[in-house]
Amino acid sequence: MQLNFTWINLLILFGALQALIFTIVLLFQKRHPGHKFLAAFVFAFAYNGFETFNWSSGLDQHFLFFDMFGFIVIYLIGPSLYLYVCKLVDAEIYFSRKQIFLHYSIPLFQFVSRLGIIAYHILWINKIIISDVTSMQLVNIVWFYAEPLSVIVFVSYYVVTILKFKKYKQNHAAKLNTKEKQITSNWIMSLMISMGILAVAWPITVLAPDVFEVSFGSHYYPIELALVVFSYWIVFYGFHKVKMISSKLTTAARSNAVDDNKVAAYLSRLINCMEVEKLYLDPDLTIHKVSSHTGIHVKIISTVLNQHSQVNFNDFVNSYRVKDVRDRLINPDNQHLTISGMAIDAGFNSQATFQRVFKSTTGMTPREYMISHAAKTTHIA
C-alpha cells in the first residue's frame, strides 16, 4: 500500500478529527437551542475532511467507502445551518418530523440512490440483471450532477438563512442590546461571514477545472485548507459560544420564572382549551397557535408546563389525544372504525407517533388496550 502523506492532508485529517469530536460533544449540549442541527452541520465538515484525506493520501485505492458515498453528507451543511439559526433566533419554534425530512430529503435521496447503485452492481456482476449499462456509468451520472447540485443547495439555504437572520434583527432590534441577545447575534453573524466565504469559494472551486489548467484534485486544496481553518475555529470559538449561549439561556429561564399566584390561572386556561375547546383535535396544533388562542406568551406556556406540570408542550397535547382515543376504543358505536382512523380523528398526524405515545402512556398497544377492556367488561358481566 503506497500512501502519500503530506502536511496538507495531515492538517486536513486533524481538523476532521477535531470537528468529529465537537460533533459528539454537541449531541449532549441539550440546553443549547438546535444542538442537533449544529452537530449535523459540524459533522458535514468533519466527514468532508475525512473524505478529502482519503483521496489525497491514496487511501481511496484500498478504502472505497468515501468513493461509494461521496457528495452525500456535504448536503447537510445548508439545511443544518438554516434549521440551527431558526432555533437560535426562536428557541420555541417546533419542526415536525415531516419538516425535518423535507429539509434533509436531498441527502437522503443521494444516499438511497448510492445504495441502489451498489445493489445494481451486485446484481449485475452476478448476472441477475442483464444490461449494457454498468454500475460505473450510473456512478458517473451521479458524480456529474452531485457536486454542482450540492453548491446550489448550500447557496440557496445560505441566502434563506441570511434573510431569516435579517428579519430577526428587524423584529427584535430593541432586544438586541441585551447581553444574551448580543452573544447570540454575534455568533450567528460569525457563522454567516464564514459561510459567506464558503458560498463564494465553493462555486469557484467547482468551476476551476473548466477555467484553469490544474491537475486532478489540486484545485480542492485552497478550499479544503479554508475548511480546516473553519474546523479549528468552530471547535474552539464555537464551543466557547455554545457554552456561553447555553449558560445565558439557563440563567434567563430561571429569571423568567412565572409567579406562583398566576400559575393556577394559566394552567386552568390551558386545560380548558384542551378539555372544553378540544384544540388537541387539530393535527397541526403548535405552541404558537395555543399562545394566540389563549393570549398566554409562548415562553410562559413552556415554563408553566415544564416547571409546574413536568411535561413539555407536545406531551401535554398528546395526553389529551391518547385519552380521546381510549374513549373511542371502548365505545361500541365505534366498532366500524379503524384504530388508525380514530387516531387521526383525535389529532395524531403520524401513526408511528400515535403508537409510541399510546404505549408509553398506557403501557399497552391500542389493540391490547381494547382486548384488556373487553376482558374486564366480560368479567364484570
At 62-91, the pLDDT tens digits run 776 776 777 788 899 999 999 999 988 876
pLDDT at 85: 92
Q: Which of 270, 247, 267, 271 is nearest to 259 (CA)?
A: 267
Domain boundary among 205, 239, 255: 255
Q: Does one domain contain both 220 and 294?
A: no
Q: Do 139 and 280 lie in a common domain?
A: no
Q: How many domains, in total, are found in the chain?
A: 2
Q: Which domain holds residue 284?
A: 260-380
Decide if 2 is inside a domain: no
Q: Over the stretch 105-156, which tens digit does the pLDDT of each residue have?
A: 999 998 998 899 889 988 988 888 888 888 888 888 887 888 889 999 999 9
φ, ψ (nearest 5 deg) of residue 132: -80, -10
Residue after which a domain boundary falls, among 255, 286, 315: 255
Given pLDDT bands bounded at 50, 70 and 90, which one contains residue 92? Answer: low
Residues 324 and 240 in one domain: no
- Whether residue 333 lies inside any domain: the answer is yes
pTM for the model: 0.68
Q: Are residues 290 and 246 in the same domain?
A: no
Give domain status of residue 236, yes or no.
Answer: yes
pLDDT-derived band at 250 (thresholds 50, 70, 90) equals low
pLDDT at 381 over 50: no
If you average pLDDT over residues 12-37, what whole number do you get?
87
Same domain (yes/no): 228, 183: yes
The answer to whether residue 88 is domain-embedded is yes
Higher pLDDT residue, 44 or 254? 44
Q: Is position 1 within any domain? A: no
CA–CA distance, 355 with 358 (Å, rounded to integer):
5
Nearest-angstrom CA–CA distance, 287 and 257: 18
Q: Are residues 226 and 281 in the same domain?
A: no
Same domain, yes or no, for 86 and 233? Answer: yes
251 and 264 in a common domain: no
Domain end among 255, 275, 297: 255
Cell of 178: 441585551
Q: Are residues 249 and 264 in the same domain?
A: no
Verify that 111 and 41 share a domain, yes or no.
yes
The answer as to whether 337 is a domain residue is yes
| Cell numbers describing residue 47 | 466527514
Q: What's the Cα-to-Cα distance from 164 to each of 105, 180, 192, 274, rounded to whole Å?
A: 21, 19, 11, 32
**pLDDT score recorded for residue 256:** 55
Report the SS3 class of residue 203. helix
The pLDDT tens digits of the residues spanning 259-285 come to 666 788 888 889 999 999 999 999 999
Q: What would the mean pLDDT of 348-357 be, rounded to a whole number?
A: 90
Quick one: which of 256, 295, 255 has its CA closest to 273? Answer: 295
Confidence band, pLDDT 50/70/90 cuts, at residue 251: low
Residue 28 shares a structural domain with residue 96: yes
Distance CA 160, CA 179 (A): 26
Residue 129 inside a domain? The answer is yes
180 or 89, which is more confident: 89
For the domain that residue 325 is a member of, what is the CATH number? Answer: 1.10.10.60
For 225, phi then psi, to 5°, come to -65, -40
Task: Report the alpha-carbon angle 355-357-358, nearest 5.
Answer: 65
In this structure, what CATH number is given to the domain that contains residue 132?
1.20.1070
Of 172-186, 194-208, 291-305, 324-338, the poorest mean pLDDT is in 172-186
Highest mean pLDDT (candidates 1-10, 205-214, 365-374)? 365-374
pLDDT over 70, % of the chain: 87
Q: Clarify whether residues 179 and 226 are in a common domain.
A: yes
